[in-house]
Amino acid sequence: MSVITNNIVLLFYQDYERDTFFRNDRYLKRVVRPLYHAVTRKQKVSGFLVWYRLLAQALRQAGYDVRENDYRFARKHSEHPVGLVGYPSLLDGWNLSNPAVLGPALFDHPAQRPALMTDPRFVSYLVTCHWMGNLFEPVYGAGKCRMWHAGIDTQRWVDTKADAKTVDFLIYDKVRWDHDAYDVNLIQPILRRLRDKGLTYEVIRYKFYDYGAYQALLRRSRAMIFLCEHETQGMAYQECLASNVPILAWDNGYWLDPNRTQYTDAMVPASSVPYFSPECGERFVGIDDFDGALDRFLGGFDTYMPRAYVERELSFAGSAKLYMDAYEEAGRR
């Protein structure tokens, strides 16, 4: 029987902090950071914090009373489940006895904390896509990993299909490693092919824009070419889909984080667009099959319905239900 009372959901989040230039300068950065954010157009929050905020938003929209970092309530009600979201440092010295749902976020690979789920307090670990589930479940155990996705705000990311389109392709450059090499071997060849076909484009670089500029570009763009090694969910490309802008995605098929060799010598299957269907657009593996994918994409352009996919598969209601299924299970322990 669940012990969750009054629709209360206890979420705990801790962002990433470290000293950079001198001891304890992380405390100074807390003061300076808001001033920096006020004058820069770069993205201002981590992906983990975006996940956390969207989780809390989904739960509140579903009618739950979300309490954030309420240690007093959790200690007083040790049978009440808790949710731990964010960076691994949250787990350091974690001394609450409450049954817990871990994630989203925390670890990139289960080898970072292979014995994590042997702790009897930890009931389930949330993964945000199937390729992550395939990576974590063999280590954490069958039934320990549960799927969860953040919801996409379709009121904020509105349908732009009827807007005046002045650009054929918005190129979203989220190539994170070996960028110079990929610029020569992938990005520039793609741009040349677009020019050869008389197609116009604009390029946007990950972390070097703000949401207002991104939304304005989506309103003017007929389509997107999404360039990223892999994603565990991929909020930006899904915001594009929610705007009813179809995507031609580079999907090389593997997890290419250079840190992966710390954990495994094997090539780990992964995807840059883990939530995707024929409604959303097309994929290509590399520059050698880009031309064929581009021709298919242009030929099927009028058939794509990416916003319908987001409304069905990535809603706030669906996000809240997935989380509460795991949370209520923890409450029955």
For residues 61 and 51, give the distance between their C-alpha atoms in angstroms, rounded to a whole number: 15
Angle subtended at Cα 47 by Cα 43 and Cα 48, rounded to the nearest 5 degrees: 140
Give the pLDDT score at 45. Answer: 59
Q: What percentage of residues in the chain have a pLDDT greater than 90?
A: 84
Query: Please, how many CA atoms are within 13 Å of residue 25, restricted to the half-sphere of its CB?
Result: 5
Within the chain, which residues score under 50 in pLDDT?
A: 17-21, 23-41, 43
Range list of β-strands (E), 38-179: 65-68, 82-86, 100-105, 122-127, 145-147, 167-174
The pLDDT tens digits for 110-150 are 999 999 999 999 999 999 999 999 999 999 998 999 999 99
Which SS3 state, helix, strand or coil, does residue 108 take? coil
Residue type at position 153: D
Give the pLDDT score at 19. Answer: 39
Give the pLDDT score at 40. Answer: 47
Q: Which CATH architecture does the domain made up of 167-313 adopt?
A: 3-Layer(aba) Sandwich (3.40)
Residues 6+ positions from 237 with CB-CB distance below 8 Å: 172, 224, 226, 228, 231, 247, 249, 272, 273
Angle subtended at Cα 326 by Cα 330 and Cα 48, rounded to the nearest 5 degrees: 110
Give the pLDDT score at 115. Answer: 97
Tokens 């794509």 locate to 304
100, 104, 109, 110 alpha-carbon torsion, rounded to 10°: 20
Give the pLDDT score at 39. Answer: 46
pTM, to two decimals: 0.89
Label residue 108 exposed, middle or buried (CB < 10 Å: 0-12, 13-18, 19+): middle
Residues 6+ positions from 111 with CB-CB distance below 8 Å: 139, 262, 263, 264
Run of H or E including 284: strand 281-284
Is residue 104 a contact partner of residue 133, using CB atoms and an 8 Å limit? no
Give the pLDDT score at 25. Answer: 44
Label residue 191 exposed, middle or buried (CB < 10 Å: 0-12, 13-18, 19+): middle
Which SS3 state, helix, strand or coil, does residue 43 take? coil
Give the pLDDT score at 16. Answer: 61
Bond into 278 cis (ω within 30):
no
For residues 48 and 29, give the distance between their C-alpha atoms in angstroms, rounded to a whole number: 19
